[in-house]
Structures are given as C-alpha cells and as structure tokens.
Chains A and B, each alone.
Chain A
C-alpha cells in the first residue's frame, strides 16, 4: 500500500525477520504521533512568524477542533459539516484571542505575551469544561477502523489521514508564504513590522490572519486526530508542550522545520518505547532535543541570526 510493488517484493525477503516488522511498526507509530505534533508545531510557526508571539494556547485550538466536531457530530451533524463548524469556531476564538488578548498588549516583552497566551489557554480550557464536559469524546475514523497490514506491521487508515493532512497543510503553508503576495506580506511583517507597515502592508490584518489561520490549522489537526487520540477539554496542554518542543527543534519559524521536528520527536518516542524503555521514552526524546540544540542552537532548520528574543 505504501511502497511500490518491486520494493515491496524486495522487502518481503526480510519480512521473515521479525526485526523488520517491529521496526516498521515503531516507525508507523512514530510518524502517526509525530504528525500530530507537527500539526501543532505548524500552528506555533505561523503565529510566531507574523507576530513574534509564542502562542501557548495553540493546543487549545486542537481541543476546540476536536470537541466542537465531536459534539456536533454526536448531535447528528454530518461529519464534514461538523468539521467545518469546528474550524469556524476555532477561527472565531483565534480572532478573539488576537483582538482582546494580543493586540492590546502589543509591544510587551515576549515573556509577557507568553503569559497572556498561557492565561488564554487556561481560560479556554475552563470555558470548554463549562460549555462541553470533562469526559473524553471521539469521532468516527474517516475511512473505517480496519487496520491496514503493511509487511506484518499495521496502520490504521486514520493515521494516513493525519499524515496526509500534515503534508497538505505544510505544502499549502509553504506555497502561501513563498508564492503569494499576501504570504510575503506575512513574512515581511515577521521580519520587520515597521518596515512592512511603511511599504503598505496592513500588519494588523496580517497578524489577525495569522491567528485565524493558526486556529484553523489547529482545528483541522483536532478533527483529524480525534478518531485516533480522542479529545477532552484538557488535551491542549500536553499537545502545546510537544508542539512547542517540535517547533523549536525544527527551528522556530520554519514550517518545514516544524514538521521535521514533530516527526522526529514522534519517531524518537516510538523507537525509544520500542527498543529502550517505555517509561523513559519521553526522556530519550527530550535528551536528544537538548543534544541537538547544543550542536545547533538555532534548531535543525533555523538560522542563528533570525533569533528575535
């Protein structure tokens, strides 16, 4: 399914070796989880690029995506519309966050802005607990639950949706930022807000847009992953943590880096759990993270001089 036929035949020679099957299963697991982190990291990246804000409420967008679509679906709304509703709600929340949380504090130091987004994430969690509930919820998998066998390993179809979604979003984001005028305006705003304003970029609009788009990315991620990971009012924190780590590992502000960072952390966790110790698998990921930063202080794809703190 994943591999061309001749390669598949070649691989089949090794299938007898359980090692290969195990490795493949770990890699599949790592990529699936990593794609979730990557999607969260992408949201971080976009807002960071346009506004310099590290938005710790990014995980809450994922939560909103999951919760709204799960409740709408449970209420009988078709999945497609439930997903769209979730994205719209997330965009509205994102815009509100920008308008009433970030814009009034413009010019404040980055750590102050971080505390504002942490406050926002706490408030959003509290609100979600009130509006929804504190139980776990799910969405049906888009293409059924039956696992696909790949050379003795197995993958659930929804994982392909998540991976595909991450790819599509990063490609779209990349094209948008580099190929469209508006995308360039976003990058210009990131590089120098004042200069961007001078050349006629409506920076306030660019920044609102980045919040809306990040919220949408988060919500899409929420819809895509909920069939696998489920959702509840407080899934945001853990996701934000890993997403932030992924974004930084890849090089803060670089969309490709965000995806790479997410996949690497996911893979490290899965391989760590499979081969080393399941209790310390996160420790392995974090140690590698520290190690990489020691060698590359700007992350894998970051440039040292783009440092803006």
Chain B
C-alpha cells in the first residue's frame, strides 16, 4: 500500500517536474513547441497504453481518433458555426462514440486480425478526411480557429506548452486512478489470464471495449490540443504512419507503464529534433535506434530502468 502510494506520487512528481522545470527554463517558443508536442503525443500514447499495456489489445488505427478530435475542432466552428468548446467536446465524444460502435464487433478479433481491422478503421477515417475536401480542405488541410478564454487568445507555443502539460498531468492522474480502480484491476486481470478473469465474473468483451473507448477519448483529446496548438491541420495528423508512431512510443517507453508513454513520446520527439541536423542519415539512425532500444530493452525503457534501479537498491 505505502509502496504503491509512494510510487504513484513519485511518478506524478516526476511528471510535474518534467513539465514545470523546462517550462520555466526554456524561453524559446521552438522548445516550448517541441515540449508541447511531446506532451500531446505522450497523452495519446498514454491512452493507447491503457489499451495495449493493460487490456492487451493492439490498435494500428489510433491516429484516426486523433484526426476526429482535431478535425471536429476545426470543421464544426468553421463550417457549422459551432462554439469551439462545443466542437471540442463533440470531437472527443464523437471519437468515443465511434470507438464504442466499432469496438464491439472488431474487438472480438485477436492479435494480427485485430491489428488489421484497427488499421483499416484508421485508414477509413483518414480517407474521409482527405477526400471530403469541401469540409476538411483535403490534403492541404484547414485552419483551426483560435481558442479564446475570457477574451484571451490562446495561440502561442507557450500557452499550449502549459495547457498540454496540464492536460497530460491530469491524464496521468486519471490513468492512474483507472488502473488502481476495480476497472483497472479487471483490465490487468484480463491481460494476465483472460480465462481466469472470466471465471471471476469479468466480462472480457466489455472491458476491452471500455479500454478501447477510453483510449480513443485520450487520442481525441490529444487531437484537439494538437489542432489548437498548430492552428492548421492536415490529414497527416490521422495517417497510418502516425498510428504506427503512437504504437512505437508505447512499446519503446514500456507497455503497461504510465510513464512509458511519456518517455516514448519524448524519445521520438527529441530524436526528430536532434537528428534534424544530420538529415542525410536521419531516417537510418532513427530506425537503428528503434531496433536497438527494443533489442536491449524489450520491456521498454521505463520498466527496464525501473528494474535496474530497483535491483541496484536491493543489492
């Protein structure tokens, strides 16, 4: 109990530090933007981690939900005159609803079959975004209205650094709450032994669906922040490659580790900037780093480091 609590608060403190310290030290909107992007994608990866690391289900189409959140924020106010807050809420709710409707049937699939079905779902969403040019601007993308709170326009990277950092923090708190709640225990139980979980009264289909919907909602919220940070969105935000990137963040950071999602997002986000100087070999190095991390830390960075730290303390 005490260990659980201390590790929980340690993790939260760590995240708070990771948000606050650079936020105060960095004064360039470029760094703040990189930070905000890490928080935003870390947030989506966090949701996906609930699905992959806890419910044990893979999704290769989660960028689709990011796209739904992002495009709802842009399309509804621009073309339908919605209040932007209503549009944001609708985007998040819409993603959850679609996940709920689609998740029922496709979560019956297992392993690679599920992977392909979610992949197809993600591609369908991104295809609609690219093709409905009238509403979405097609491949050129579209402008996103700026968020105004009490007459104050939130548009700089600094604003969004703090907002997305705060959202991430709350997301982590919520994820931790969930994991330690009866729902979380049910999910973890399912992941370890679906049969045993079943005999204890846990309805596997229901809990997989819950995890799918929750992860879709996380992705959509991340999409909303992404759209508002950028002020202009393109179908790239919902692309298959983005979905793969999210899965990579989760696995590299550590499946089933709350901090893992953030670390995975940070690694990919920072690598992109670090390697930009050497763009001739950027792709090559990125690929090799991904391979190396997975070969030498197959449980992901955070769980591996935790184990190292833990065993050192023990000895």
Contacts and interface: CB of A to CB of B under 8 A. Distances in A.
B26 interface: no
Q: Which of the listed residues B241, B247, B248, B284 has the most CB atoms from chain A within 10 Å of its own CB? A: B284
A245 B240 CA distance: 13
A280 B110 contact: no
Contact of A293 (B109, B131, B291): B109
A293 B102 CA distance: 13
A125 B283 contact: yes
Given A115-B252, A280-B131, A286 B123 contact: yes
B114 to A, nearest CB: 8
Contacts of B298: 105, 108-109, 112
A248 B124 contact: no
B113 A299 contact: yes
A124 B196 CA distance: 43
Contacts of A119: 286-291, 294
A268 to B, nearest CB: 12
B106 interface: yes
A307 interface: yes
Contact of B291 (A101, A130, A249, A279): A101
B251 A115 contact: yes
A121 B291 CA distance: 10
Interface string A242-282: 00110011001000000000000000000000000001101
A116 B113 contact: no
A122 to B, nearest CB: 3
Given A289-B120, A293-B113, A104 B287 contact: no
Interface in A93-120: 101, 104-105, 108-112, 115-116, 118-120
Nearest to A234: B283
B252 to A, nearest CB: 7
B208 to A, nearest CB: 14
Dominant secondary structure of chain A at its interface with chain B? helix
Contact of A126 (B117, B121, B282): B282
A3 interface: no
Given A125-B283, A279-B131, A280-B131, A307 B294 contact: no
B124 A101 contact: no
B167 interface: no
Dominant secondary structure of chain B at its interface with chain A? helix
Interface in B281-315: 281-291, 294-295, 298
A241 interface: yes
Interface string B273-285: 0000000111111
A126 B116 contact: no
B108 A297 contact: yes
A282 B288 contact: no
B58 interface: yes
B106 A241 contact: no
Interface in B174-191: none
B283 A290 contact: no
A248 B112 contact: yes
Contacts of A244: 116, 119
A168 interface: no
A286 to B, nearest CB: 4
B151 interface: no
A249 to B, nearest CB: 8
B255 interface: yes
B198 interface: no
B289 to A, nearest CB: 8
Given A119-B290, A119-B291, A126-B286, A110 B119 contact: no
Nearest to B284: A126
Given A289-B117, A294-B106, 7 more contacts: A101-B295, A119-B287, A119-B290, A123-B283, A245-B116, A283-B123, A283-B127
Interface of B: 52, 58, 105-106, 108-113, 115-117, 119-121, 123-124, 127-128, 131, 240-241, 244, 247-248, 251-252, 255, 280-291, 294-295, 298
